[in-house]
Amino acid sequence: MAKKNIEELMKESGFTFKDIKLLKSINKKHDTTLLDEMINLESRFYRLLFLLPLSFLVLAFFFLMAGEANVIGFVISIIILIPPALFITSFKLSYKSFIFMRKYKRL
């Protein structure tokens, strides 16, 4: 696919100008293409689908097995750690890449 064609398809799939600009800056740093970055983000989305339910299962386990003092500390640590983890993994951009690749992977 041509570079302009990919950008147009990305805009149609819900990517904003800011998202495309961010992906282009990453591409310049790592000397890759937009499609390579989309594939990386798609694989990151699959990892998130595995890690988030796992972390909530651990949280549920601690609620059921731990005492009151441990639960309060654990909840505070989860509240502090989950938002930065989601920010670092860029869940929104990964989801958009996942949807884009499901639509246009064969093109």
How many CA within 13 A on the CB side of residue 35? 12
Average pLDDT, integer, range 28-46: 87
Q: How confident is the model at residue 107 (pLDDT cuts 50, 70, 90)?
A: low
**Whether the Cβ atoms of residue 62 and residue 74 lie closer than 8 Å to each other:** yes
> Residue 13: what are its φ and ψ, rounded to 5°?
-85, 0
Predicted confidence (pLDDT) per residue in 47-64, tens digit: 888 888 887 787 777 777
pLDDT in tens, 3-21: 668 888 888 888 989 988 9
